[in-house]
Chains A and B, each alone.
Chain A
Amino acid sequence: MRKNKYELKNVDLWYSDFQALKDVNMDIMEKEVTAFIGPSGCGKSTLIKTLNRMNDLVEGCRVTGKIHLDGQDIFGNINVNHLRKRVGMVFQKPNPFPMSIYDNIAFGPRTHGITAKLKLDEIVEKSLRDAAIWEETKDRLKKSALGLSGGQQQRLCIARALSVSPEVLLMDEPTSALDPISTSKIEDLISDLKGDYTVIIVTHNMQQATRISDKTAFFLLGEMVEFGKTETLFSMPKDKRCEDYITGRFG
């Protein structure tokens, strides 16, 4: 029996005077892929960043309401570093550190106090394998990560996120800068990961949402307009605004 990983209640978020999220209520199931869709500026990226408190760094950002991770208030008495270890993130543009492939992956575990070489070797190999990039990098682990292609760099970033054994993976348009082959590799990877991780992905690609996600949430002007099973949302949306957006008639 799966349970809710995240529970959001009456979440409002302001960037100074601008309200970017309006009364968002949703439960995100563990070990599923949940997609956030909506036009630019609808709040989906803001919400995904709120889930591991990346917005803490944004000046003037204020959040009210409750966000619970496994029943624990993420704005309560919690270590933010520990939260971000549990909730990893992959961004739109691959952002490997300017260091070797090995060191990119070992960076997180080292930060969390792992120094034994054998243990680090094991983590690096497992993370690269899980991110489906081991075969391409195993002979060049000491080479710079910046020498990899865009698609490889993005899988490296996913491996880096996996290296600290997170429970949740947040992905903000992880394939928008990639070619179709790299995109399908990442999509396959997301499908493989969902047995072990909770994945939340922001995407502008409707077909991608239908291919990889179990549930989809549609956002508009800071509101979560519709949330449900992906198949239902894309075949029989309930809300006219959602239907107009996904069928490309939004205006």
Chain B
Amino acid sequence: MRNKFEQQLTLLNNMLIEMGGLIETSIALAIQAMKEQNSEAADRAVEYDREIDQMERDIEELCLKLLLQQQPVARDLRLISAALKMITDMERIGDQAADIAEITPYLSGTPYFNKMGHFSKMAEATAKMVTDSIDAFVKKDFDLAISVIKSDDIVDELFHQIKTDLIELLRTDNAHGEYAIDMLMIAKYFERIGDHAVNVAEWVLFSIKGEHVRY
């Protein structure tokens, strides 16, 4: 019964999982590039971004084909429309991981980076949000999606703490001012990644409940 459609939906699911895996890896590479000043990791994060962009196109094409050929309703329509929206956020996450990676070479030599514990915490917290939002999609886990949305407050709070740390850095050591600006940008990119993970989680909730959930 609708065997081809079932196969196409399974393919869509698998492609979303694969794209999720790619963005998780690209964030991990960006974090590695940042922490270890590892230019190879930075280059690979940028390469991953290109793969993620292609993945977005492929998933979009499959979704449009499914809408045209299968005229989905109910849970199928919710899954496909959620997928179409989610991939935009996932693609943006890939962009921002690459943006972070591209900044890291300019930070080499700064003595402050690894002293700032809030950076590590923020990177870990946003990476977890992304992983959990994709897990929530794969497992159709309502509670996990809600927890992703709630985690955004933690990331926002860390962003404010980093801002405070950087203001303090500028005051005490204005010779490293340019680093401070780059580091602020990295923090902002992580904060935006958190926002996109929230969007993904919201689409997971939509695909489960059929409407936008208030939380």
Residues B71 and A207 in contact, CB atoms below 8 Å apart: yes
Q: Are A206 and B210 in contact (CB under 8 A)?
A: no
Which residues of chain B in 65-95 are interfacial with respect to chain A, using CB atoms and an 8 Å cutoff?
Answer: 71-78
Kindly specify which of A5-13, A135-143, A172-180, A243-251 makes contact with the partner chain.
A243-251
Q: Looking at B1, B2, B73, B77, which has the most chain A CB atoms within 10 Å of its CB? A: B73
- Which of chain B's residues have a CB closer than 8 A to the CB of A243? 74-75
Residues B73 and A235 in contact, CB atoms below 8 Å apart: yes
State the total of A-B contacts with C-beta under 8 angstroms. 35
In the complex with contacts A248-B1, A248-B2, A210-B73 CB distance below 8 A:
yes
Is the CB–CB distance between B1 and A249 below 8 Å?
yes
Verify A247–B71 contact, CB threshold 8 A: no
Query: What residues of B have a CB within 8 angstroms of the CB of A235 in the complex?
Result: 73-74, 77-78, 210
Asked whether any CB of chain B lies closer than 8 Å to the CB of A237, the reply is yes
Contacts A246-B74, A247-B76; is A236 near B211 (CB within 8 Å)? yes
Cβ of A251 and Cβ of B211 under 8 Å apart?
no
Q: Which residues of the other chain, A, contact B106 by a CB distance below 8 angstroms?
A: none
Q: Which of B5, B78, B210, B211 contacts A248 (CB 8 A)?
A: B5
List the B side residues contacting A91 at CB < 8 Å: none
For residue B210, which residues in chain A have a CB less than 8 angstroms away from its CB? 235-236
Q: B211 to chain A: which residues have CB within 8 Å?
A: 236
Bound-state Cα–Cα, A37 to B209, Å: 24
**Chain B residue, CB-CB nearest to A205:** B71
- Complex CA gap A207/B73 in Å reads 9
Q: List residues of chain A with CB within 8 A of the CB of B72.
A: 247
A206–B2 Cα gap in the complex (Å)? 15
Smallest distance from the beta carbon of B200 to chain A beta carbons, Å? 20
| Bound complex: CA A243 to CA B77 (Å) | 12
Which A residues between 232 and 246 are near B, CB-CB below 8 angstroms? 234-237, 243, 246
Interface string of A211-251 (1 = CB under 8 A from B): 00000000000000000000000111100000100111111
Give residues in B with beta carbon < 8 Å to A.
1-2, 5, 71-78, 209-211
Question: A210-B73, A237-B74, A247-B73 are known contacts; what are 14 more A-B pairs with Cβ within 8 Å?
Answer: A235-B77, A235-B210, A236-B74, A236-B78, A243-B75, A246-B73, A247-B2, A247-B72, A247-B74, A247-B75, A248-B1, A249-B1, A249-B2, A250-B1
Can you identify 27 A-B contacts, CB atoms within 8 angstroms?
A206-B71, A206-B73, A207-B71, A210-B73, A234-B73, A234-B77, A235-B73, A235-B210, A236-B74, A236-B78, A236-B209, A236-B210, A243-B74, A243-B75, A246-B73, A246-B74, A247-B2, A247-B72, A247-B74, A247-B75, A247-B76, A248-B1, A248-B5, A249-B1, A249-B2, A250-B1, A251-B1
